[in-house]
Amino acid sequence: AQSVTQLGSHVSVSEGALVLLRCNYSSSVPPYLFWYVQYPNQGLQLLLKYTTGATLVKGINGFEAEFKKSETSFHLTKPSAHMSDAAEYFCAVTRDNAGNMLTFGGGTRLMVKP
Amino acid sequence: DTEVTQTPKHLVMGMTNKKSLKCEQHMGHRAMYWYKQKAKKPPELMFVYSYEKLSINESVPSRFSPECPNSSLLNLHLHALQPEDSALYLCASSQDGYGYTFGSGTRLTVV
């Protein structure tokens, strides 16, 4: 069975600082991994995904994530935080190798200080 | 069209009411999902439809009844809900598990 753990339910950074949101997964099969962002009172927007191929994945809004199989990690980074990045971020993994069920981590709330 | 559209955006209903949530996508995706999200929690899977057939029911109470009339539409019929069912209900679709597109959700309040 697949599962996802996000380390840190709240992360606070200063505007312009590096953003690092941590995600570790457990999976009995090669996983498909996703990062989603959710702004208040809105749905989920896909930031980026890893399925196969290049392990460094670039997404929207300047975010990127690196799949590290040896560390079972898929951490999300952004070199310079903007105030508009303040939101809830969810790491997710498909629950089966048919990719039909998405399981989410507990979420990390990113706060950006001026 | 690359969106999943959910209606209504907000719904307030009494515990004896019957209402329906609607979800529509025109991306040709053959899998559609209902998720429930409580405040400050991740979304939890409720139902999965694959090729218009119910493939997953995550032990959801029978007061929630899903329906997939065709490949573009997904409904969630609500009856005799409890206040603890108040949540954001999210619909999503995917073609092959490589990418899921979520709607903006229906904020449900049961009074």
Question: Which pLDDT score, from 0 to 100, does residue A97 have?
Answer: 54
A32-89 pLDDT, tens digit per residue, is 899 999 998 889 999 999 988 889 999 999 999 999 989 999 999 999 999 999 999 9
Residue of B nearest to A95 (CA): B97
Question: Which pLDDT score, from 0 to 100, does residue B73 have?
Answer: 97
A92-102 pLDDT, tens digit per residue, is 988 655 556 78
Chain A positions in Cβ-Cβ contact with residue B27 (cut-off 8 Å): none
Residue of B nearest to A88 (CA): B40
Give whole-number Cα distances, A86 to A94, A109, B101, in Å: 26, 8, 21
**A52 contacts chain B (CB < 8 A):** no
B100-102 and B106-110 as β-strands: parallel, antiparallel, unpaired? unpaired
Give whole-number Cα distances, B54 to B30, B57, B71, in Å: 12, 7, 12
Question: Which pLDDT score, from 0 to 100, does residue A26 have?
Answer: 87
Q: Across chain A, how many H-helices and E-strands are there?
A: 0, 11
Alpha-carbon gap: A26 to the closest alpha carbon of chain B (Å) = 18
